[in-house]
């Protein structure tokens, strides 16, 4: 019997915020789980759309021309090149999908190293 | 205020099985929701991995070298070229991610036309 990727189990394995963990691969992309709390930096990804699926909590993604709010079971894709800032008033758990090697801040200089769990 | 993609709302808009509906786009891929019940055909996708995330119910994905079972909040990626057959004893709701234009049966001759909802 093969094992699926259980997102809750993966999210139970760490506690730090803004540090996405790689849990799988799909067509040259990483599947990542992340915990978010507080305000991230304004940034954009010039070469990729940015996929967010909220699993727990409520996430606001601020953009220059309007915000979006996501609860559990909701998805938003920030188009490539669009400046955005994720803000989580309370802790949020989310699934992200990014091309392998994408810097989380949009800038390799300031990006975290993503561990595989 | 921008609107997120609410998967439950999208799934409430149709009832037929094995007919994925396009609900969004991400890096040249379609995001799709689907209802599954019964046995699908054995098939493979020579050029793409096949992403399944179960939202409701339990899905078995049979493969020639072993099966996987997924419940809500679980993901499995069938690697490209790997023959598989999804089986849902009871109705399953799932999120799929596929390159735009991917035939659901692996064969354009037998594939359903995917409507955007």
pLDDT on residue B104 = 87
Find residue B94's DSSP bridge partners.
Answer: B34, B54
pLDDT on residue B35 = 98
Poorest-pLDDT segment among A103-107, B35-39, B45-49, B89-93:
A103-107
On whether any CB of chain A is under 8 Å from the CB of B8, the answer is: yes
Which residues between 40 and 79 in chain A have a beta carbon less than 8 angstroms from any beta carbon of chain B? 48-49, 51, 55, 63, 66-70, 73-77
Average pLDDT for residues B103-112, to the nearest whole number?
88
On whether any CB of chain A is under 8 Å from the CB of B26, the answer is: yes
Looking at residue A76, which CATH number applies to its domain?
A: 2.60.120.10
On whether any CB of chain B is under 8 Å from the CB of A117, the answer is: no
Average pLDDT, chain B: 96
Q: Judge contact between B57 and B91, C-beta under 8 A.
A: yes
Residue B66 inside a domain? The answer is yes
Number of domains in chain B: 1
Q: How many beta carbons lie within 10 A of that of residue B15, not counting itself?
A: 9
Residue B112 inside a domain? The answer is no
Residue A1 inside a domain? The answer is no
Contact A51 B8 (CB under 8 A): no
Contact A55 B48 (CB under 8 A): no
pLDDT on residue A109 = 87
Q: Judge contact between A102 and A44, C-beta under 8 A.
A: no
Q: Which two tokens stand for residue A105?
A: 């801040």
pLDDT on residue A27 = 97
Residue B2 inside a domain? The answer is no
pLDDT on residue A44 = 95
Q: Percent of chain B at pLDDT above 70?
A: 100
Q: Judge contact between B22 and A77, C-beta under 8 A.
A: no
Confidence of residue B21 (pLDDT cuts 50, 70, 90): very high
Q: Which two tokens stand for residue B47?
A: 């050029």
Question: Is the confidence at residue B113, as pLDDT, over 90?
Answer: no
Residue B106 inside a domain? The answer is no
Q: Answer with the residue of higher pLDDT: A105 or B49.
A: B49
Handedness of CA B19, A53, A26, A15 (dihedral sign): negative
| Residues whose CB falls within 8 Å of the CB of residue B33, separated by 6 or more in sequence, listed in order | B7, B10, B11, B20, B21, B23, B55, B93, B94, B95, B96
B27/B101 Cα distance (integer angstroms): 13
Residue B115 inside a domain? The answer is no
Contact B2 A70 (CB under 8 A): no
Confidence of residue B66 (pLDDT cuts 50, 70, 90): very high
pLDDT on residue A113 = 87
3-state secondary structure of B31: strand
CA angle (B89, A25, B16) in 5-degree steps = 30
- Element (DSSP H or E) covering residue B30: strand B29-39
Q: In terms of residue numbers, what domain contains A93?
A: 7-99
Contact B67 A8 (CB under 8 A): no
3-state secondary structure of A99: strand
Residue B35 inside a domain? The answer is yes
Q: Answer with the residue of higher pLDDT: B99 or B104.
A: B99
Q: pLDDT in tens for each of the 117 residues of chain A? A: 899 999 999 999 999 999 999 999 999 999 999 999 999 999 999 999 999 999 999 999 999 999 999 999 999 999 999 999 999 999 999 999 999 988 888 888 888 889 999
pLDDT on residue B108 = 87
Residues of A with CB below 8 A from B5's CB? Answer: 74-77
Q: Looking at the partner chain, which of A7, A73, A80 has a beta carbon nearest the beta carbon of B7?
A: A73
Query: What ipTM does the predicted assembly reach?
Result: 0.94
Residue A116 inside a domain? The answer is no
Average pLDDT for residues B53-66, to the nearest whole number?
98
Q: How many beta carbons lie within 10 A of that of residue A64, not counting itself?
A: 11
Residues of B with CB below 8 A from A1's CB? Answer: 66-69
pTM of the model: 0.95
């Amino acid at each position: 019997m093969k094992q699926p990727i259980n997102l809750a189990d993966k999210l139970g394995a760490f506690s730090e915020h803004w540090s996405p963990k790689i849990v799988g691969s799909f067509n040259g992309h990483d599947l990542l789980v992340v915990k978010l709390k507080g305000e991230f930096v304004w940034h954009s990804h010039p070469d990729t759309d940015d996929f967010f699926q909220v699993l727990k909590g409520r996430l606001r993604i601020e953009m220059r021309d309007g915000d979006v709010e996501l609860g559990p079971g909701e998805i938003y894709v920030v188009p490539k090149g669009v400046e955005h800032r994720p803000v989580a008033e309370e802790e949020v758990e989310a699934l992200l999908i990014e091309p392998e090697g994408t810097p989380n801040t949009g800038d390799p200089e300031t990006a975290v190293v993503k561990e595989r769990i």
